[in-house]
Structure 1
Amino acid sequence: MTNAIDPLEWVPASGHQLRLAGVHFDAVRIEGLRGELAAAQLIEAADGDAGPVVCEVTGFRWMYFLLAPGEVRRHRWPLGVQRFGERGSRTATYIGIPALDGNTWPLRWYSEPTVTAPFVETGRLRAVLEGVGL
């Protein structure tokens, strides 16, 4: 992957760090193969410029699709999609964000943020989720 943008303020310079969902971005999370399939189709639909998608390399292999702040609460999401970042929620959720370069294990960018796609476009993601049966 290429580092097509200057690092956003919420992307760490090295390793990985936790960031509070709902502040710099909202997030939706999908488990395992379903998440990987959704991410691959999203990248294809966006001609390779899908916006930030973070993958957990171990465990359930969660895929985190990072949306612009406020987007999660504006839409209904299918079953199997967990959402993070809703204002007014009683819980705070921190999402692991890897650096653009270097050792970021156990996280990695499945799709990096770019100048033209600093966030995943919500409408495109929802269309992909409908297509994969979520």
Structure 2
Amino acid sequence: MAVHDVPVNAPSCHPNIEWIPSSGFQLRKAGVQFDAVRVDGDDGRRAADLLEHLTGGDPGPVVIEANGRRGVYFLLPPGGSAGRAWPPGAMPFNAARWAVSYVPVPALVGRTWPLAWRCPPTAPGRFVHPYLLLATLVAVARATATPPESR
């Protein structure tokens, strides 16, 4: 059962992490408690699948959107998305001097649609590793750019 399928009144065994709202969802300023990288659509879901496989099911916190761009937000440690050459389709969210960006964060349980935790946080300070995410996104981009008959 995925975290977003847990009944509203179910007891939580998740860590108490200050930036996670107790209900619904809220926007959090990127670069304060975490950075993020958003990858929309099927490429984001492929990257999340691969990261889960590579990490034995615990890649760090990953949020998914059910509507619109169907974005997948990979939460990185603060500063983890800045100064990297992300592949096309990967949008970094951080505290760069020239921009302010916000990341949607759902509660761990209850009604959070259109957001849900693909991989919930397991401990304070535990995030997706920036280099592992970068390598994963490059691999997904190469795989989707390769014609099917060449695979």
What TM-score, normalized to structure 1? 0.91
30-39 or 107-116, larger mean C-alpha shift: 107-116
Which of 19, 38, 58 is equivalent to 1:49?
A: 58
Identity level (%) = 44
Aligned to 1:32: 41
- Give the Cα–Cα distance (whole angstroms) in 2 for the partners of residues 114 and 38 of structure 1: 19
Aligned to 1:119: 127
Q: CA distance change for structure 1 residues 15 and 25 in 2, over 3 Å: closer, same or farther?
A: same
Q: What residue identity is the alignment partner of 1:66? A: L
Q: CA distance change for structure 1 residues 42 and 117 in 2, over 3 Å: closer, same or farther?
A: farther
What TM-score, normalized to structure 2? 0.81
Q: What residue identity is the alignment partner of 2:22? A: A
- Give the Cα–Cα distance (whole angstroms) in 1 for the partners of residues 33 and 124 of structure 2: 17
* Structure 1 residue ranges (4+ consecutive) displaced by more than 4 angstroms after TM superposition: none
Which has the higher Rg, Structure 1 or Structure 2?
2
Unaligned runs of 5+ in 2: 4-11, 143-151
Are 1:93 and 2:132 an aligned pair?
A: no
C-alpha deviation, 1:4, in angstroms: 5.5
The answer to whether the 8 A contact 1:19-1:96 is kept is yes
Aligned to 1:70: 79
Q: What residue identity is the alignment partner of 2:20? A: V
Which of 61, 74, 79 is equivalent to 2:70?
A: 61
C-alpha deviation, 1:86, in angstroms: 3.6
Which of 15, 19, 27 is equivalent to 2:24?
A: 15
C-alpha deviation, 1:76, in angstroms: 1.6
Aligned-residue Cα RMSD (Å) equals 1.8
Aligned to 2:145: none
